[in-house]
Structure 1
């Protein structure tokens, strides 16, 4: 045993833990468990009496940073020509042809439709998805279309998705799986492949979701408090359903249903996002086979729901085309600039140089990464980080009243911020 080798607890101490669950799989002696910390994020805990100090959990951790150049060469055998979206084959707008899936999904139900399709066709043996159990989300391996359907929709709280990979790694059977995850989950899978090569062939498809950051479980509790919904009376909660952009639906034990539109509650959620997410460099899940996100553009507005779809790999493109041919999804090609425009703020922020975002985690290490410079103004980066850092001071329950007041004050700053962004995008188009 080498006592000098670090563990993931060192990552937590540095403030770089993503709560993705990758390290749970890396431990061969089951010394790692996950628990919620006081801020409502999942973090790993190491049982030192069991730990052998092998260092594998630390090596597999995406929170320490990812070598984008290395990952691109390994995944696509090339460096992407597009610094904003990464490597891709085609970009689409699309939706699930099943009207129920489309309506209940977050933005068109494409992830759910594809998961059900590959299970039904026997292409995979299971789909790694997330379901709600009252107020908590949990990851599991769905083995049937019905189980996938019960996991439909976004879950805006921390989820260590990759903990479900352990049984896949340890299994002696060479079964195939589809994984739906955020960019950090996919980064973790790729780093895990370096330690466990079998992961590469067993995760047949990686469906990545666009992500601006994971809110704490306290974000959900704040929303319930803000709208005077008694926590103990909540039977079930869904974050997005009922068309696009959707609404939070809290079903009470009495049978009453309380609905809150996404544009109304989401701004509050942003105050509870993991500070480590402010140092993320990947908004559009650049290493997925297929990436999915919301079409935030007026000319793409669809009250029933549609998704922006990026086909990045040949298997991903083939899956989309086969699903379209079999009547599972509808696809329409769009120019990559429409994707960029719809995600402009998030992409530009995440491509800004990391040192200028260091203020997100004061006095902590900045993760190692190799990313292109895209000229995002530092004043916007600092404005955004400072705004959320101040808000995070009020994230504890005893300060929620102050956070409510702060939100009203910050709305003017937000309007000025978006005006600046609009001017920046117009200038970029004309350059």
Structure 2
């Protein structure tokens, strides 16, 4: 028997929450976002909560995702729709500004596009994620309005983030704004625009970055312990990527003696450790490449990156609006586009077709064993299970999920406890 998911509390307890923060935005008198050490950012009830209106659940990407684009649009790359969603154009490029290109996780394209929108596109600012000033191992939603602020907040943050809890920044801005977030965050914004008149028309463009999942705060704390950082309050700087491509995980902290120390790991080493702490909902996510965004950016992993090579970005126009902004940013000198080739997307992320195929088996197992399942519409999965997975992978897609149902206790309600202090 499948467990019902009819409230935001059920979404959290059944481990379907993505931590996006949209419920706290559309129902601020009921929910607030805070960190749960083992799970990620989660909505908790305010001190005197109002009755749940249902708007949060209506916008929740953890509970449901549905594609509504027209697949018959002749401008779409038809051969990519089934596996990658709507794609109008694909480029490899980078930020023309050398400082932005260096600081970005890949080629700085997202930051360059955001800066173009502020300086030339008539937008008021950018809602995105940055390190908390008082606890740099944690994230907070920020609204940037200048190159300096954007540059200071570049680089991936492989830690819980809930940028949708900052949608009030967009509502209160004088003009339209840019939104940058994970694929699930962007899907939530799209839904929120439908239920909040104050927000509709104020989102100028949405940018999503490719996402393989969100590790919990516990993951970061355990990684810090690996290099000798026991007290996160001693940290003076923490970057997960950037300052080179793909960049290194780098931490600076001060010992009780006052000595300033630092340590670093390669991207492969740090992500190899952190990915073990990803929240469960990421294992059953159909969208790792921003299919609901206007623009999506990621790494062009279709070839081996050479040591010292300057960063490059894979840039995808997912709507005509997104394509228009990409091309305008190029004409204005903010973005350099080198190669226009739709095959760059599947060549850069070949494993994702297998991930989509594996999703079909995972959802079947959850249904049979009575665990909660998100309502997904418009995503093809079974054809990729047949074609993209080998025999052993097909078997693993079932057996691995069966194991996780029991190890993660997915048939029971999880007890989500707020982390007090600064974790």
Into which bin does the TM-score normalised by the smaller protein fall?
A: 0.7 to 0.9
TM-score (norm. length: structure 1) = 0.81
Superposed CA deviations along residues 197-244 of structure 1, whole A, max 9, x for unmatched, are: 443311111011111111111111111112223434321101112311
Which residue does 1:32 correspond to in 2? 31
Take 1:342 and 1:57, find their aligned partners in 2: how far apart are those partners? 35
Structure 1 contact 279–358 (Cα < 8 Å) conserved = no
Match of 1:372 among 360, 372, 380: 380
1:78–1:108 distance in 2 versus 1, CA, 3 Å: closer
1:63–1:284 distance in 2 versus 1, CA, 3 Å: same
1:378-397 correspondence runs (5 A): 378-382=394-398, 385=401
Greater relative contact order structure (CA < 8 Å, 6+ sep): 2
Q: What is the aligned length?
A: 384
Unpaired stretches in structure 1, ≥5 consecutive residues? 394-431
Is residue 327 of structure 1 aligned with residue 327 of structure 2?
no
Structure 1 contact 276–360 (Cα < 8 Å) conserved = no
| Deviation at residue 387 of structure 1 after TM alignment | 8.3
Which residue does 1:238 correspond to in 2? 239
| Deviation at residue 285 of structure 1 after TM alignment | 0.4
1:90–1:333 distance in 2 versus 1, CA, 3 Å: farther
Give the SS at the match of 1:135: strand
Which residue does 2:82 correspond to in 1? 83
Give the SS at the match of 2:180: strand
Which residue does 2:158 correspond to in 1? 156
Take 1:304 and 1:212, find their aligned partners in 2: how far apart are those partners? 23
For the aligned residues, what is the CA RMSD? Answer: 2.9
Superposed CA deviations along residues 141-167 of structure 1, whole A, max 9, x for unmatched, are: 112221111110000011011001034
Take 2:146 and 2:108, find their aligned partners in 1: how far apart are those partners? 17
Is residue 346 of structure 1 aligned with residue 352 of structure 2?
yes
Take 2:9 and 2:75, find their aligned partners in 1: how far apart are those partners? 34
| Deviation at residue 357 of structure 1 after TM alignment | 4.2
Superposed CA deviations along residues 358-383 of structure 1, whole A, max 9, x for unmatched, are: 66797421101121133223335346
| Deviation at residue 257 of structure 1 after TM alignment | 2.7
Give the SS at the match of 2:200: helix
Which residue does 1:199 correspond to in 2? 199
Which residue does 1:105 correspond to in 2? 104
Take 1:277 and 1:89, find their aligned partners in 2: how far apart are those partners? 26
Take 1:290 and 1:162, find their aligned partners in 2: how far apart are those partners? 17
Which residue does 2:418 correspond to in 1? none
Match of 2:309 among 298, 303, 306: 303
Structure 2 contact 93–109 (Cα < 8 Å) conserved = yes
Structure 1 contact 283–350 (Cα < 8 Å) conserved = no
Take 2:350 and 2:399, find their aligned partners in 1: how far apart are those partners? 17
1:46–1:258 distance in 2 versus 1, CA, 3 Å: same
Unpaired stretches in structure 2, ≥5 consecutive residues? 410-423
Structure 1 contact 358–366 (Cα < 8 Å) conserved = no
| Deviation at residue 84 of structure 1 after TM alignment | 1.6
Structure 2 contact 300–312 (Cα < 8 Å) conserved = yes
Structure 1 contact 129–148 (Cα < 8 Å) conserved = no
Take 2:195 and 2:242, find their aligned partners in 1: how far apart are those partners? 39
Take 1:336 and 1:385, find their aligned partners in 2: how far apart are those partners? 33
1:391–1:315 distance in 2 versus 1, CA, 3 Å: same
Structure 1 contact 31–47 (Cα < 8 Å) conserved = yes
Structure 1 contact 6–53 (Cα < 8 Å) conserved = no
Which residue does 1:404 correspond to in 2? none
Match of 1:147 among 143, 149, 153: 149
Take 2:249 and 2:351, find their aligned partners in 1: how far apart are those partners? 24
Is residue 312 of structure 1 aligned with residue 318 of structure 2?
yes
Superposed CA deviations along residues 62-95 of structure 1, whole A, max 9, x for unmatched, are: 1111122x3x249x89997321221122111011
| Deviation at residue 35 of structure 1 after TM alignment | 2.1
Structure 2 contact 366–373 (Cα < 8 Å) conserved = no
Give the SS at the match of 2:290: coil
Give the SS at the match of 1:322: helix
1:77–1:366 distance in 2 versus 1, CA, 3 Å: farther
Which residue does 1:179 correspond to in 2? 179
1:23–1:269 distance in 2 versus 1, CA, 3 Å: same
Structure 2 contact 94–108 (Cα < 8 Å) conserved = yes
Structure 2 contact 129–142 (Cα < 8 Å) conserved = yes
1:334–1:139 distance in 2 versus 1, CA, 3 Å: same
Which residue does 2:14 correspond to in 1? 14
Give the SS at the match of 1:136: strand
